[in-house]
Structure 1
């Protein structure tokens, strides 16, 4: 096995108990550190964004083809809104409104994610399934720790009893040591004894980041919960933003003639920064004038 820091981010999915349990596990260390670097997140913000990104990566793996989803966590804490996009190809991007949030450790000596997210609010799920209208679901935030909140979302919005584990371990310099998660979904047909066995295993399971830091592979992690896991497939997870200069130009054109004229008159230039990747796109006076000409055609 390679060193934890050298491992690629990846996701596995499979089944257990003769198909009566569906399992997902993901390692997102590099993805979450990329988000941290791009957005300059402080440790508590890194943990909250990273947990959401790990959940999104696994939920993206539940999609097919060109389907994609957006998760919005809107709590009443100082972080503001967390937004993460994911698709069926393992591509994830995201941001948080207030990246410079860092709170004192909670009573367990861990990063106070619930304090940063807030204990009231909603998780919104928007899925583009290629239909006329996207699917929209929402459930209240029940703890702000996020794993419990996604567990509640699956039970209430998708009627699938699930156990969600999420973790981000941040170093003293703010970089990400480990990040990842798992989702265990119970399907019809399980006996009470089987459910109890899974619940008991979850009750004594160390944290996700503890297992990853020990160098445990994802399939080993899942076997701590359900011992007869059959891995169906594996895919890479990576940060990817689909913004481009062309898309930004389209956005500027959509502002209309008078807004572009105002930009030229006020600043003689414009800078548009992508929310998701923090990439800046600069337009000088000549480029804005060319856009103005296109807008007036």
Structure 2
């Protein structure tokens, strides 16, 4: 089963819901960045949330999530879009601790409990929408729950889980976001709160191999869920030699000339996929010619 998410409604459309299987996506970022187990759980949870938040967008809209805590993992940055594409990195991928008192990977210790969660939405307009909230736990799911309530004024419940094998590979990853829409009755909210408080942790649900549809069935009640759409999810980076080349051109002739004189070439490194692009002296001189032709 490859990664995908579902969008759904429940309780006569008064509850909006998303659920995702993100195992392969998280496994890809773990492999590329040589993430240690606790770092895998932290970045994997953030990427899982980003995939679902990207699905809330439309068309070519995209968003960037940044989790900056006071823990040793440093800043985590994740991009996602409405097409199910997600990429991310952690400043320090080599973070791991003993299991916490609950027998789980100690994500809180890796991320830290002081810092900020920032969401920047590129809606294709001149200005970006930016929402920011303080971290309240460092466990990621609770922090995104806080973000939706405070920054978007949408009461929400977020569940995120990543299971890591003894050899550091990813066993399973997934999550859900449940949101209360206008028109939801107090009875519906009470039933929902009861179900969410008694359902197995998301890590157990994904360990059981439940599909996104089945996860929503566990959380909301199978008879209540109406799936509206399905979207494939994957790790995808849109970097390219041309894109970085344009960035070098943007530096201007003086700085490109210094690159030629000092190194005879230039290198650009993508933080997300770790691809490195090399530009020869001839290519750099071609950039200068292009700048001059436009002046």
Superposition TM-score, scaled by structure 1 size: 0.94
Residue 296 of structure 1: how far off its partner (Å): 4.2
Deviations 1:113-171 (A, max 9, x none): 11111101111111111222011111110000000000000111111110000011111
Is 1:169 the counterpart of 2:163 in the alignment? yes
1:58-73 mapped onto 2 (5 Å cutoff)? 58-73=52-67
Whether 1:277 and 2:273 are equivalent positions in the alignment is yes
Which residue of the other structure, out of 120, 123, 143, is the alignment partner of 2:117? Answer: 123
Q: TM-score, normalised by structure 2?
A: 0.95
Deviation (angstroms), 1:107: 1.4
1:209 aligns with 2:203: yes
Which residue of structure 2 lines up, in the alignment, with residue 3 of structure 1? Answer: none
* Residue 181 (1) aligns with residue 178 (2): no
RMSD over aligned Cα atoms: 1.4
How far apart, CA to CA, are the structure 2 residues paired with 1:13 and 1:294?
46
Q: Give the deviation of 1:59 after TM superposition.
A: 0.6
Q: Distance in 2 between the 1:69 and 1:63 partners?
A: 8
- Corresponding residue for 1:44? 38
Extract unaligned runs of 5+ from structure 2.
none
- 1:224 match: secondary structure: helix
Distance in 1, matches of 2:68 and 2:239, equals 24
Aligned-partner Cα distance in 1 for 2:244–2:184: 50
Structure 1 residues not aligned, in runs of 5+: 1-6
Give yes or no for the alignment of 1:268 onto 2:278.
Answer: no
CA contact 2:39–2:107 (8 Å) conserved in 1: yes
**More displaced stretch, 204-213 vs 44-53:** 204-213
Once the two structures are overlaid, the 10-residue window that deviates more, 225-234 or 209-218, is 209-218
2:105 corresponds to which residue? 111
| Counterpart among 2, 6, 19 of residue 12 in structure 1 | 6
Of the three residues 79, 90, 102, the one matched with 1:85 is 79
Q: 1:291: which partner in 2?
A: 287
> Match of 1:192?
186
Cα separation, 2, equivalents of 1:108 and 1:205: 17
1:248 aligns with 2:241: no
- SS of residue matched to 2:89: strand
Counterpart pick for 1:137 among 124, 131, 136: 131
